Amino acid sequence: MVAKANYVTLPKSERKMVSGARSVRPSHPDERLEISVHVRRTHGTHGATGLQPRNLTHKELEKNYGADSSDLAKVADFAHQHGLVVVESSAAKRLVRLSGTVKAFNEAFDVSLRHYEHANFTYRGRTGTISIPKELDGIITAVLGLDNRPFARPHFIRRKPHPTGKAHPAASAADFSGFSPVTVADLYSFPPGDGSGQTVGIIELGGGFRPGDLQTYFNGIGITTPPTVLAFSVDHANNKPGDSADGEVMLDIEVIGAIVPKATIVVYFAPNLTDADFSDAILAAVHDAVNKPSVISISWGGPEDEATGQFQEAMKTALEDAQSLNITVLVASGDNGAADMAPTDANNQAPWDGKAHVDFPASSPLVLACGATRIDLSGTKLAGEAAWNQGFADTDPDVNSFGSVGGGISHVFTPPPSWQASLTLPASANVGAPAGRGVPDVTGNGDPSSGYSVRVDGNTGVIGGTSAVAPLWAGLIARINQIIGKPVGFVNATLYANPGAFNDITIGNNRVSSPGGSENLGYDATPGWDACTGLGSPNGNAVLAALRTATV
């Protein structure tokens, strides 16, 4: 394609065809879609250190770090010139949502959208870069949504009954029915609290909840008045129970609601069609000036290598906003071990490429990345923990559930953030990859074989995965915010400075092997921080003491 006159390339916008896919035909010129155009901040970047201005109000954030009205007007004029409709224009979110046809978007951004087919999915996509008019160079920072290949996946796994009837050591019988989140919170010495006055946000890319199921679940664990659960629509998505993502939605709500039953839970529902949907959902939660969540739980993600640079930059600015507003963001680290990819064509993704990857946005230095363990009990006391691994390397044909805790070393977010600078980070499992941010930061019970009792679509079962740990930590932070009387915000530096607030885990690994057994990549649980259990699981009261001291 010959570049259009007076156009320049949008940095970090390059796309390649999915491995194993083939280009079938041009997308229909009359196909309609919506995309998200991100624009620069009023005063440039927040800063180079990653430690952003704190304690801002939503109005202060918009005034000092929102988009300039003249920039938004220029993008709107450009859109109108190409027959595109402005659906939304937000100075606070630095976002312009555009609607139009494939033909109009091809012309406006100098791309060629095509229909691609893979053995397991189809998608509308592009190759190469996006171009923008020279007069918008430096104003537009990202154009998301043109390509709708799958990226984000939920990180929950249902426990399957063991065919041999073996019981997990944490269970008293082979028909283990799952732990209550309250039981697990007590095992981890969470400080008392019910979440009164707190609002917790949850990002969901599909699925939904049924109020009747929530009533039944919470009544069953002794909570007669369930927490207030609100559905927030992003990019036309709604609470729509009835698909495979319901397990994720209900797990998140029930874990948080059990730990902080008097909190308000706001579920931000977005489609899972494009990278724009994911970033739009986070922007919606962060900039929700009505509900004002102080904690956001995210149990979705994908290999950071599959995320374009412009998508990562868009997420970065949204998470910087969260930091400025003192919002704590918890993210699940992934369920496919150090590979972060399934070994076969499944879950709408290509097979594992034999390399180590970390999950995004868990790999962002602006979030608290949450791994998963298996817990063992002695009576009603926590007797021990091990890194969760029922994954590639497990040769037992009767293994309960496939999966392993995600973790490793980022080669996108380099060098390591300041609060990991004193760690002895392991070499990346990818030869030649530079040392970067280590994942996860913390962990908690998430092995499906010691998982949680969850009610989904009228049925009760046991669910685990790192998806269970992000909401578990979200509940802990909400209790701490209630006790301290204000949000603790970005907690990573404080937690790394207080390793004594954790149960150190030195058993297990997240190593993975290819189906033929030719690979063995991954990391072992070791004393101190490691790339499968992070700092460890929480001693809730000690975490409270550390954060209270830092806040004061």
Strands of the sheet with 452-456, listed across from one edge: 157-158, 459-464, 452-456
Closest CA to 261 of 194, 190, 326, 213: 194
Tell me the β-bridge partners of 298.
203, 331
Catalytic residue among 248, 254, 306, 359: 248
Q: Is residue 429 one of the residues assigned to a domain?
A: no
**pTM of the full predicted structure?**
0.94
Tens digit of pLDDT for each residue in 507-517?
999 998 765 55
Eight-state DSSP code of residue 168:
P
Same-domain status, 115 and 202: no
Concerning whether 88 is annotated as a catalytic residue, the answer is no
Task: Tell me the one-letter amino acid at 367.
Answer: V
Please report where in the chains the tokens 């993704």 appear, as a residue: 349
Same-domain status, 210 and 102: no
Structure tokens at 84: 């595109």
Eight-state DSSP code of residue 93:
T
Number of domains in the chain: 2
Concerning whether 299 is annotated as a catalytic residue, the answer is no
Task: Tell me the one-letter amino acid at 544.
Answer: L
Same-domain status, 127 and 160: no
Residue 409 near residue 305 (C-beta atoms within 8 A): no
User: End of a domain among 111, 144, 177?
Assistant: 144
Q: Coil, strand or helix: which one is 302?
A: strand
Helices within 116-205 (DSSP H only): 181-187
Q: How far apart are CA 169 and CA 180, in angstroms?
A: 17
Residue 546 near residue 498 (C-beta atoms within 8 A): yes
Q: How far apart are CA 431 and CA 368, in angstroms?
A: 26
Q: Is residue 362 one of the residues assigned to a domain?
A: yes
Closest CA to 213 of 241, 180, 182: 241
Q: Is residue 430 one of the residues assigned to a domain?
A: no
Per-residue pLDDT of the chain (552 residues; tens, 9 = 90+): 556 889 999 999 999 998 889 999 999 999 999 999 999 998 755 543 444 678 899 999 999 999 999 999 999 999 999 999 999 999 999 999 999 999 999 999 999 999 999 888 899 999 999 999 999 999 999 999 999 987 899 998 888 765 444 444 444 445 688 999 999 999 999 999 999 999 999 999 999 999 999 999 999 999 999 999 999 999 999 999 998 899 999 999 999 999 999 999 999 999 998 999 999 999 999 999 999 999 999 999 999 988 999 999 999 999 999 999 999 999 999 999 998 886 554 444 556 777 889 999 999 999 999 999 999 998 889 999 999 998 644 444 344 457 899 999 998 999 999 999 989 887 666 656 668 999 999 999 999 999 999 999 999 999 999 999 999 999 999 999 999 999 999 999 999 999 999 999 999 999 987 655 555 789 999 999 999 999 999 999 999 999 999 876
Same-domain status, 90 and 174: no
Domain of residue 108: give its range.
7-144
Catalytic residue among 71, 235, 252, 275: 252
Q: What is the CATH number of the domain that holds 161?
A: 3.40.50.200
Q: How far apart are CA 353 and CA 301, in angstroms?
A: 18
Concerning whether 252 is annotated as a catalytic residue, the answer is yes
Task: Tell me the one-letter amino acid at 518.
Answer: S
Please report where in the chains the tokens 């890194």 appear, as a residue: 387
Catalytic residue among 467, 513, 530, 537: 467
Same-domain status, 164 and 118: no
Q: Is residue 107 one of the residues assigned to a domain?
A: yes
Same-domain status, 125 and 177: no
